[in-house]
Amino acid sequence: MNILITGGSGFLGTALIPHLKTHDIVNFDTQPSPQVETKNGFSNKRVFKKYIEWADIIIHMASKNGVNESELKPGDTIQKNIVLSTILYEELLHHNNKHIIIPSTTQVYGEGKYLCTKCKNFIKNPIRDYEKFNTFDCFCPSCHTSLKAFKNNENDLTIPLNIYAISKLYQENIFWKLKSKHKVKILRFPIVYGKDQLKDGVYHGLIGTIINKAKNNENIILCEDGHIIKNVVSVNDVIEGMLKSIDSESNILNIGSFEHFSLIEIANIIIKRFNSSSRIQIDNELNSLDSRKNMIDINKAINEIKYSPKYRFSEELKNF
């Protein structure tokens, strides 16, 4: 089959492309890839349109990543995540029956879903008020009881808290409109890790940043009280999810793992792995751009595309 990849020279694309070698692949990226023929960006729309028509499968990974950097440079995020996606969307309106893979983020859920054990009500995307409650946790707006977090599934509300997640939700929404013409697969990833994150010029993310600090024995600064909860998933599992989704029907799927850790737990696992003398520092400041407990339910992917995460964080770190 003919596969068009956008942004295939990055961390995720570098891991994915070796699994597609039996197909004809063209990569559109501003950076070259040693693995596959790469066209320089999207500046030549005529060439881009030609390969959209040629492709049976389109994997749209070209994206500006990173919550903090997106807040600092929102224009760059809008250009790379929204404008380029709109160009692709407009061209796909003129075609039919393509498989379209859209990597997204579990950040689109925002604060997520909670239960008040006293009121017995589910509360979606509660507002955290550190000044009022003197804690970073979520509380019931009615009775002020501490809330119990639940895992987010694909039917839950999407109320993103930051520009990056807003831009990814925009991608989801416009491409999902194409599901009557194409087979659209939207895959929501949590924190993805893999050894190639440590390479120069690659977006390091939370895991890569902490690893670099630990390897250099530098202090590791964690936001809030260090007890923000994250789902982490190996890039190897993510690639499995992407490959299994290609031949599926239109769908929205969480592609993650069974492992949820606090920031402190993540940092301590990494410090132990690298025998680091790094110390953990807590900044005790509310991070309004992030959710308190970003937990996801992956049962839909398990049931519908036979997704099966296999890799454990502590074991995978041995390969770094």
Domains in the chain: ranges and CATH:
2-112+152-319 (3.40.50.720), 113-151 (no CATH)
Strands 121-124 and 113-116: antiparallel
Q: Which of 158, 123, 150 is nearest to 139 (CA)?
A: 123
Q: Mean pLDDT of all residues in the chain? A: 94
Q: Which of 298, 92, 68 is nearest to 204 (CA)?
A: 68
The pLDDT of 110-137, averaged and rounded, is 89
Phi and psi dihedrals of 223, rounded to 5? -80, 160
DSSP at 146: B
Tell me: the pLDDT tens digits for 56-104?
A: 999 999 998 889 889 999 999 999 999 999 999 999 999 999 999 999 9
Other CB atoms within a 10 A radius of the CB of residue 219 amount to: 10
Q: 221 near 279, Cβ under 8 Å?
A: no
289 contact partners, CB below 8 Å, separation of at least 6: 67, 68, 71, 161, 162
The pLDDT value given to residue 290 = 93
Asked whether the predicted pLDDT for residue 201 surpasses 80, the reply is no
Tell me: the pLDDT tens digits for 281-303?
A: 999 999 999 999 999 999 999 99
pTM to 2 decimal places: 0.95
Strands 113-116 and 148-150: antiparallel
The pLDDT value given to residue 196 = 84
Instruction: Categorize the per-residue pLDDT at 304 as very low, low, confident or very high, splitting at 50, 70 and 90.
Output: very high
CA distances from 318 to 17, 44, 271 (A): 23, 43, 12
The pLDDT value given to residue 177 = 98
Strands 260-262 and 229-234: antiparallel
Q: Which residues pair with 45 in a beta bridge?
A: none
The pLDDT of 108-136, averaged and rounded, is 90
Q: H or E element: which one contains 105?
A: strand 99-105
The pLDDT value given to residue 29 = 93
The pLDDT value given to residue 125 = 87
Instruction: Categorize the per-residue pLDDT at 152 as very low, low, confident or very high, splitting at 50, 70 and 90.
Output: very high
The pLDDT of 258-281, averaged and rounded, is 98
Q: Which residues pair with 73 in a beta bridge?
A: none
The pLDDT of 138-165, averaged and rounded, is 94
Q: 22 near 208, Cβ under 8 Å?
A: no
Return d(Cα 3, Cα 7) in angstroms, integer: 13
Asked whether the predicted pLDDT for residue 144 surpasses 70, the reply is yes
Q: 187 near 104, Cβ under 8 Å?
A: yes
Asked whether the predicted pLDDT for residue 41 surpasses 80, the reply is no
